[in-house]
Structure 1
């Protein structure tokens, strides 16, 4: 049995764990990192990276078949699904070295390729090594949640982890779950030539603003994706190539392949948290605002902490932990400035409060500003006029922004900056955006907030007329 002592022990080499490890090691801490599976975690190997790579392949196919509106003849693309998966694998391989064991050992991190299990409040067992640490960070992420639908265990099904091994294009893909993962993969496969049916127990894209979600859903339906809402899966039956999903109201959906995309569950099973005095909730490990667990020597970050499940949130958490664990400084998490995006086309993004939440929180003080893509010259030139930006404003400050449309995931960055720093609509209005860009939408939305105050205000008009009389 090997034993070692370390300043900081990190369990899990996904995006959050790697960020803590790199920062802490380069600042002089003795860092030990445990990973029992793949370096890079879910994001690199099964989530963000492969999904966006497949979406890029699908976009290429779609552009070829919809070029006529730009004066270029439409072509029927010859889709090689296996080659598209090779593209996905190549993208992963290109990024892998950044997350590799070799790189982190080069930074001075001690990397042990074993799962970690708590044996006391300050000790973790990893293979044949017992590790005692001053501080411990749990960054084990999450895995696909597979619901207990009768019959599901009797048929072959895919998750976001196993989808990437599929080499033959599905003839008809059934997707249980209408959230971001389900809708992104639904559109990608439709564009690559599959028939696609999405089966959602409630509302598709139900966590987003309904008005904005409808912009996306209308576009997806227009591409030929069948989206069945209020369709709670009751039973699954069939075999490879012929699968049926029966829902509560009796409808039956038939397809060749089944993708289960109903959400994520925190990875806690191997940790033996009880031994460390760490409590859990229904969604993950219980943490306070500083990301400390009920064992104050142990932090939990990213998906396993049970909050927003996004790679960039794990990275944000890493910064909080480094400040607290390495320097002993107070650091607390906030969520108001955390954006998220769904990478369908059109894209869907959000930061801060949706309109419904803002109305509930702020009542009559709330002003909602809308600006449509159809008024943006670059969007017109690109034939990307489907969509709008909606800003929720209280006393001149945005408290939430919802965007549906081309490059919504890029546009939301500015609003995250604005909300994070308590800036006002005037700050956005004062910005000068190059013309013509999609980014002008943000400035024009801010302008739409001030327009009625300037152009529909009798006092302003009286002042202008008075000034004009006296100007030489």
Structure 2
């Protein structure tokens, strides 16, 4: 078996692994990248990219049915579901060269297309090679979690890994799981002409602010998505084209297709982490804030690190470990400034704690300010008035922000930067923004933080009165 000696060995060619490989090799490190599946990982092939492409197609279909308020006669769109999936595939193909083996080999990365396994604390085997590296990075991502519901072993079901290859439109899609993946797919399929029922054991959008979730749930239900909450599934049955989902209270939901969207599990099987002395649990590799494991040679990033499961977190983690591995600089990861978004319509976005979490953490030192989309001129022009922004403030600084509304995923970026840079609300309130834009909801929310001090303070009014009387 040939031995390869290198500086960095990365296991997994998803967002985190590719970011580390590209950065490290271009700064002079020797890099081996191992991937047993598809280059680009889940995000490119079965996650973020195809889901947003499908959502984009669904928005076009929906727009054709909702033009009456603008003086445009609504029409029922003719949807070629197979061509919608061609669009999804074309988007993936358009991005794939950036993540391709050829590109990374062109940068100087040694790419091995096989499954990796630790055979010792400082040795990995893959593709007939023994890799000896100074540092290792576990960037293996996650895959859909399918719970052991009675009957699941005999019923055909879809996950995010298979639904984008489905070229025939489901007549009635049943979605088990009311989290981001389930709800995005539910609304998209409804807009593409499917009947859709979501079955959620607790609350839909359970991780999000309840007020914000209510805005999206009302819109989805108004579009015809049936959403059953507090509905634990006790059994599934049936066959292709005739699926049954039994709920704990005895109700039975019937449909033609079943999508399992109840969460994800970290992909660590077969890696030989025990042999490498790398502590881990079912949630991921056990790491510190520096993303280093119990084996000081081994780091973990992204989903494999056992924390927030977002593509942008994996990219952020890449920067944390690169600073350590290439420059020997201390670097730690955090979560207070990490945003996330759900791309339903309206969108949901969050950075930092929700209002309930912030009240628990900060008590009476917390103030909460809101601004509604209905008071934004651009939102009125585009009839996107559903939603609001909510900012949690402690000692003049934002610590958490919730946005429910159009382009919430775009708007949350300003607040993620503000929290990361420890900016005060005055910095947001003093920012000059183009008019009319939806981004003004952030500025107006920041301004609302100062309203009680400026407009409800008798002392301010006395000062203004004195200035008007005595200052020429």
Q: How does 1:14-413 map to 2 (within 5 A)?
A: 14-413=14-413
Q: Which runs of 5+ in 2 are unaligned?
A: none
Output the CA distance in 1 between the equivalents of 2:210 and 2:268. Answer: 33
Q: CA deviation at 1:471?
A: 1.1
Q: Secondary structure at the match of 1:289?
A: coil
Query: What per-residue deviation string (whole Å, max 9, x for no partner) do you get for residues 140-186 of structure 1?
Result: 00000000001011010000001011110000000000000000000
Q: CA deviation at 1:324?
A: 0.6
Output the CA distance in 1 between the equivalents of 2:281 and 2:216. Answer: 33
Output the CA distance in 1 between the equivalents of 2:269 and 2:353. Answer: 33
Return structure 1 stretches of 4+ with deviation > 6 angstroms. none
Output the CA distance in 1 between the equivalents of 2:251 and 2:364. Answer: 43
Output the CA distance in 1 between the equivalents of 2:372 and 2:235. Answer: 42
Q: CA deviation at 1:115?
A: 1.0
Query: What per-residue deviation string (whole Å, max 9, x for no partner) do you get for residues 179-223 of structure 1?
Result: 000000000000000000000000000000111011111110010
Q: Quick check: 2:266–2:282 contact (8 Å CA) kept in 1?
A: no
Task: Give the stretch that moved more between structures: 277-286 or 57-66.
Answer: 277-286
Q: Quick check: 2:118–2:276 contact (8 Å CA) kept in 1?
A: yes
Q: Secondary structure at the match of 1:51?
A: helix
Output the CA distance in 1 between the equivalents of 2:304 and 2:77. Answer: 41
Query: What per-residue deviation string (whole Å, max 9, x for no partner) do you get for residues 278-297 of structure 1?
Result: 11123111000000011011
Output the CA distance in 1 between the equivalents of 2:65 and 2:460. Answer: 52
Output the CA distance in 1 between the equivalents of 2:76 and 2:15. Answer: 39
Work out the number of aligned pairs and report it. Answer: 472
Q: CA deviation at 1:68?
A: 1.1
Q: CA deviation at 1:127?
A: 2.2
CA RMSD of aligned residues (A): 0.5
